[in-house]
Structure 1
């Protein structure tokens, strides 16, 4: 006779249709307990699901149900599921969008009653509403904290098309998980068309502006960083996450294998954006020289700082671009530095990410093929490279057309008479 399971361990039984089911008491979002069932084809499969259910209960994570409010399900999804699948920066962004915009509008809807019309209406209203009225729209505010439209004026700040697209992505991801857990029959967010985003034309610096910027940056203590960003197209977080062990100055190459991002108040090291972002990039001679000088400068700064040189123990050792006390440079501070450099160099103001676009445009102007640029920048597909830089490929395309003229000898004079034979 099988051993009887103890009280609180849950129950596993075999159904008449041949499947197995397990039941255990779990927490609801309101703090009360209820009995929840899970199903599977084998006893081992159900036992695994039961263990997972009970582990979440021990951690105080509420169990999802089809009748729970969508706002409660979002809380459950962001706490229990999303952290295992999303990078920290993406998770932080999703949490903010859910708290500020989605829950106030759709949070009280029942999960199993959410319809495509609800999602479509929400996105349509979201596009045209001012941001300060959207935030916490379902909450009563004190007299002095009313939204701008309530006092007869509008801030006229509208969500960007990209924000609308991110909102739709959060809804789609959360409801897809609800489908996997068999809480809903369909993902209503997938039925609604994804909002389109008008791609902004990239405006990289031209060669003359780059030379002026680098000449101005020669006296900057992070001069090597600006040279690296322009010559290799590394992302801001990738460059600041580099250590000296990642760089081979003799071989003239750098290995990109981590990045650093500010998540709320912390600087967190993680893996690069995509699998293709983990790559090895060749360094120009000018970049190698700048890094060599920077390493000598960093050693002098270390000696001057003395006991004040205190890198964070949890961070990688041997970071290349640090503060005066050996700590990692905050990615956000680069924006302020570049703004000052652009002003002093008398070139138009650009973002740090625009230096990545500048690298690609310079490579294209030198006739480098799109595949090589894709590998250098760490794009996931060559389509992304071609779509992003299609408008700066005019010079390359014109050169290709001229080479075709040369190959077909269209440049030779038509009707040109051949020299007569000597016997003529």
Structure 2
């Protein structure tokens, strides 16, 4: 561990200090060190004093380091070790850090954090948004657990703090309601019908290509997910990390074939007016509206319906048509059948009467 000047070097012949090839570019002072995994790391600074202070902390014992290391410093280490995550996930972590964690905890020394104040903070967030509270607590816990693993903190003060997950609000729609929504979204009604009939996520629909459609088998291949991160579109695997084929009604296959005729296999299957792939922000302008202009859901008389309700609708229709929980899990891309049951158990229960009727007809 040592502080080096990136802008200067020693001439091997004269021993004099001369300008390096990096002179005047980037941060001048650099600290290099070996971490606990025997990997050499480096960090650059604008000012020598900051570099020397950082170097001094690296030379401290774990106990000494814990008394001065801040949450923000540990955050940099934690997020830097997660470069392999999806860009959209990293973007979400950084946005959450800037909005919720950094203003409250960034400048605090980790050794000064107390379980009680952290629990109170999580409770305040939960009162505003349980989802945000759960995500913020997860990220902060990850940062502090990494400090424990590095030997810079004795224990994670967020241990034992939990946020009760809000019960999913499942609101399936009727065929008539979906039809009204699709009509109000014209000329993009196929987006509504694909979401409502297949149950795929919006990003999965946006990533569909012309060659994702197998018209003979009446299947759509869900192999990618398209999201926006930092203003640019990012393509990744579906949420559960696996591709899947989802069934499509015959009439919908026919319309998809018709509207994609003559287009290249790699082009988006469902496009905006400009012919490009969908972004959620673009869809919201149609679905929710913009400014004083009402959106499709208001015009359809369903002002509170979310786009995600079309996914619940697909699950409802699958169950009503007699699909078992494993088939529904596969179609929706859930990680486990338990997840499917947790969300839709009441819909399966609603179908018990029809099951009884079918058995009655079978055994007569």
Task: Establish whether TM, by shorter chain, passes 0.5.
Answer: yes
Q: 1:361 to 1:348 in 2, by over 3 A?
A: farther
The aligned counterpart of 2:144 is 175
Secondary structure of the residue aligned to 1:268 is: strand
Partners of 1:402 and 1:95 in 2: CA distance: 54
Determine if the alignment matches structure 1 residue 373 to structure 2 residue 328: yes
Partners of 2:302 and 2:184 in 1: CA distance: 11
The aligned counterpart of 1:288 is 253
Q: 1:185 to 1:381 in 2, by over 3 A?
A: same
Task: Return the offset for 1:195.
Answer: 0.9
Q: Deviations over 1:307-356 (max 9, x none)?
A: xxxxxxxxx94111223443222222222323433344444541211111
Partners of 1:166 and 1:279 in 2: CA distance: 28
Within the candidate set 124, 134, 141, 1:165 is matched to 134
Task: Return the offset for 1:104.
Answer: 2.1
Question: Which shows bigger deviation, 351-360 or 220-229?
Answer: 220-229
Query: Structure 2: which 5+ runs fail to align?
Result: 5-26, 59-64, 289-294
Determine if the alignment matches structure 1 residue 237 to structure 2 residue 192: no
Partners of 1:35 and 1:212 in 2: CA distance: 63
Within the candidate set 281, 286, 297, 1:332 is matched to 281
Using structure 2 for the length normalisation, give the TM-score.
Answer: 0.76
Q: 1:292 to 1:104 in 2, by over 3 A?
A: same
Q: 1:100 to 1:249 in 2, by over 3 A?
A: same
The aligned counterpart of 1:17 is none
Q: 1:127 to 1:225 in 2, by over 3 A?
A: closer
Q: 1:247 to 1:68 in 2, by over 3 A?
A: same
Secondary structure of the residue aligned to 2:269 is: coil
Task: Return the offset for 1:288.
Answer: 0.6
Secondary structure of the residue aligned to 2:226 is: strand
Query: Structure 1: which 5+ runs fail to align?
Result: 1-6, 9-29, 40-48, 129-158, 303-315, 410-424
**1:223–1:290 Cα contact (<8 Å) kept:** no
Equivalenced residue count is: 319
The aligned counterpart of 2:75 is 74
Q: 1:326 to 1:407 in 2, by over 3 A?
A: closer
Q: 1:404 to 1:288 in 2, by over 3 A?
A: closer
Determine if the alignment matches structure 1 residue 210 to structure 2 residue 175: no
Determine if the alignment matches structure 1 residue 53 to structure 2 residue 2: no
The aligned counterpart of 2:7 is none
The aligned counterpart of 2:190 is 224
Partners of 2:301 and 2:358 in 1: CA distance: 37
The aligned counterpart of 2:272 is 323
Secondary structure of the residue aligned to 1:291 is: helix
Give 1 or 2 for the bigger CA radius of gyration. Answer: 1
Partners of 1:387 and 1:393 in 2: CA distance: 11
Q: 1:200 to 1:325 in 2, by over 3 A?
A: closer
RMSD over aligned Cα atoms: 3.3
**2:334–2:340 Cα contact (<8 Å) kept:** yes
Partners of 1:250 and 1:270 in 2: CA distance: 27
Partners of 1:230 and 1:365 in 2: CA distance: 14
Determine if the alignment matches structure 1 residue 123 to structure 2 residue 122: yes
Secondary structure of the residue aligned to 1:356 is: helix
Partners of 1:239 and 1:407 in 2: CA distance: 39
Partners of 2:280 and 2:184 in 1: CA distance: 21
Q: 1:59 to 1:402 in 2, by over 3 A?
A: farther
Partners of 2:75 and 2:332 in 1: CA distance: 35
The aligned counterpart of 1:100 is 99
Q: 1:337 to 1:192 in 2, by over 3 A?
A: same
Q: Deviations over 1:36-84 (max 9, x none)?
A: 5655xxxxxxxxx44x323x44799989754311122213322x12332
Task: Return the offset for 1:256.
Answer: 1.0
Where relative contact order (Cα < 8 A, 6+ residues apart) is larger, the structure is 2
Within the candidate set 265, 272, 284, 2:238 is matched to 272
**1:244–1:319 Cα contact (<8 Å) kept:** yes
Using structure 1 for the length normalisation, give the TM-score.
Answer: 0.66
**1:335–1:351 Cα contact (<8 Å) kept:** no
**1:105–1:122 Cα contact (<8 Å) kept:** no
